[in-house]
Structure 1
Amino acid sequence: MAELSENLRGAVLMTASMAAFTVNDTFIKSLADDLPLMQTVFLRGAGVTPLLALLALSRGALRFRMAGRDAGLLALRSIAEILAALFFLTALYNMPLANATAILQAAPLMVTLAGALFFGEAIGIWRMSAILVGFAGVLLIVQPGGEGFTSYSIWALAAVVAVVARDVVTRKMSGALPSLTVATVTAFCVGAAAGLAALFEPWVPVSGGSALALGGSVVSILFAYLFSVTAVRVGDMGFVAPFRYTGLVWALILGLIAFGDFPGPLTLFGSAVVIAAGLFTYLRERMLSIRRREISQAPPR
């Protein structure tokens, strides 16, 4: 019962994290007609970095003295996060919220593939098949050569690659490096990189409405980081991780309410294919983990 309770808590936190990330994306997209992208990301970073630092300090989790290997990995992770933010937010500024979010759902499948390529993890024929089916779903969403295809779909796909690189690097970090330190350093680096890029863009005065949207983005991304960091440390990851896909549900709802956008049938079908493939991958891994645990705990004959 205790394990079930922890699993449910983790699932709720993961769902809340996805909701907060999508609310942040909604606020960011609402600024597309008012502020240049780099200025928006810089101002968001200037707001969220001190809050993350204070949160990390309050939990004793802000540590800048670390092993050289972790420092190098943190630098690589920050670069990957900068690229992921640049690619995804560029796509988000120029395409419907749900479409950009749907393409990003391919990331967990690609992380599984990266685990096989970089960590030698066995994925087997069933999970490899699920990955291929998931990629077919991505093609349905992107529709290369179709009427719904735009160059910004490529930016969203590039964001997936950057997210996978970020997650691969994160998995190589030691457990001695607190997650909140990683989140704080990453937020600072993304904001600083955007600030440098903003020097080459016209600086636009921030209106009252834009300031409110930026404030909403800062608050929502803070909660998104907090919920996501806590979620992955609660319960069984095989149970919690599939709730990442609720982000697409939030994107469909908020995209329709905030912008009047709703994906076409092919995009919806492709999204369903990607999610089904991802869920199969998670459930297959969970089943194999349970089987391995049962074998290891079985008494010798």
Structure 2
Amino acid sequence: MLVAMCCYVFNDVFVKLAAQHLPPGQVLAVRGLFATLFVLVVAWGARARWRTALRPLVGVRCGLEITTALASVLALSLVPLATVSTLMMTAPLMIAVTAMALRWEPWQGSRLVAAAAGFAGVLLVIQPATRLDVPTAGHVCALLCAASLAGRDLVTRRIPAGVPSSLIAAATTLAVCLAGALLGFTEQWIVPTQREIAALAAAASCATLGSYALIAACRGVDLSVVTPFRYSFIVWALLLGYAIWGDVPQPLAALGAVLILASGAFTIWAARRP
């Protein structure tokens, strides 16, 4: 999970650099093309078992991966990196509430209160009444990305152990690439520069390794065990956002981030306590 979070933040950095000039569908398609080549190398050893990936749950995960990638690209093109990363960290809270709603875990009032505090932290990060410098659509896309992430992780836990992680990563990567190509029919693509191609190739390598590491982290284990390590994502995002773009969170936004982190950590602790 630590490796996955580090890779995903670097992926977001490279995507944000490219998305400043390229439309979302082109970003997904070009990055997906590179990522497909990379992931096929990783999945080559499991090629004889490719039929095991033809399962409905793998298809559902592909759909959630597409919405996650598209929402992420749109959010990164509109909102600072640290803000997107913080809002995406509401995914563990969504996982906890959903797991209780589906009766996968017992209802706990303290976890519900912590989740409510975390979502209050979201309002502090967004500050809808005062943050007129940031488009509302960017915040909506970041929260949609978090919801897709939560659903993706819940589905991943239900995929049978007989399906190799490398094949799941290959299927989802190819699905995102195809979705970007289809989205291109509604966009005006431009010729990318060498810098943008290099950025998307780097993003693809980071996304490939991150996807494989995340799938491996979520399988065969209670999500409450590995979820705490997901919060390293915010640390990397804050450091890289400041180093590259000079982004510094406002005091209220920083307080909101602390609320999200604290509530997420409490829900994990409360889930493991029994």
Q: TM-score, normalised by structure 1?
A: 0.84
Match of residue 15 from structure 1 = 2
Quote the residue 1:150 is aligned against.
Answer: 135
- The reply to whether residue 55 of structure 1 matches residue 42 of structure 2 is yes
Structure 1 counterpart SS, 2:186: coil
- Report the equivalent of 2:240: 254
Aligned partners of 1:62 and 1:180 also within 8 Å: no
Which residue in 2 is equivalent to 1:190? Answer: 176
Cα distance change, pair 62–207 in 1 and its aligned pair in 2 (3 A): farther
Matches within 5 A, 1:28-107: 28-58=15-45, 60=46, 63-66=49-52, 71-107=55-91
Instruction: Note if 1:245 corresponds to 2:231.
Output: yes
- Structure 2 letter corresponding to 1:135: F
Q: 2:94 corresponds to which residue?
A: 110
Aligned partners of 1:145, 1:110: CA distance in 2, in Å?
24
Contact 1:106–1:135 (8 Å) recurs in 2: yes
Secondary structure at the residue paired with 1:31? helix
User: Once the two structures are aligned, what percentage of the paired residues are identical?
Assistant: 32
Q: Which moved more, 1:243-252 or 1:213-222?
A: 213-222
- Look up the match of 2:215: 229
Alpha-carbon shift at residue 110 of structure 1 (Å): 0.4
Q: CA deviation at 1:23?
A: 0.5
CA distance in 2, matches of 1:235, 1:75: 22
Deviations 1:169-224 (A, max 9, x none): 32332222222211110111011001111122122112111122112112211221
Higher radius of gyration, 1 or 2: 1
CA drift at 1:127: 1.2
1:169 equivalent in structure 2 = 155
Query: Hey, what's the Cα distance between the residues in 2 that align with 1:248 and 1:61?
Result: 35
- The counterpart of 1:263, out of the listed 245, 249, 252, is 249
Per the alignment, residue 11 of structure 1 pairs with none
Native 8 Å contact 2:161 2:220 kept in 1 = no
Secondary structure of the corresponding residue to residue 102 of structure 2 = helix
Instruction: Tell me, in whole angstroms, the C-alpha distance in 1 between the residues paired with 2:131 and 2:41.
Output: 48
> Could you list the runs of 5+ residues in structure 2 that have no partner in the other structure?
none
Instruction: After TM superposition, give the deviation of residue 232 of structure 1 in Å.
Output: 4.0
Contact 2:82 2:238 in 1 (8 A): yes
> Could you tell me which amino acid in structure 2 is paired with residue 40 of structure 1?
V
Cα pair 2:156 2:215 within 8 Å, conserved: no
How big is the shift at 1:72?
Answer: 1.5
Deviation at 1:233, TM superposition (A): 5.7
Instruction: For 1:33, give the aligned amino acid.
Output: Q
> How far apart are 1:92 and its partner, in Å?
0.8
Residue-by-residue CA offset, 1:8-55 (whole Å, 9 max, x unaligned): xxxxxx222211100110000011232222111111111111221221
Whether 1:132 aligns to 2:116 is: yes
In structure 1, C-alpha distance between the alignment counterparts of 2:222 and 2:56, rounded to whole Å:
29
Cα offset, 1:153, TM superposition: 0.6
After TM superposition, give the deviation of residue 281 of structure 1 in Å. Answer: 1.3
Moved more, 263-272 or 222-231: 222-231
**Root-mean-square deviation (CA), in Å?**
2.1
How many residues end up aligned between the 2 structures? 272
Gaps of 5+ in 1: 1-13, 289-301
The TM-score, its normalising length taken from structure 2, stands at 0.91
Contact 1:61 1:178 in 2 (8 A): no
Q: 1:227–1:120: structure 2 CA closer, same or farther, 3 Å change rule?
A: closer
CA contact (8 A) 1:97 1:255 kept: yes
Does the Cα contact within 8 Å between 2:165 and 2:212 map onto a contact in 1? no
Distance in 2 (CA, whole Å) between partners of 1:50 and 1:178 is: 18
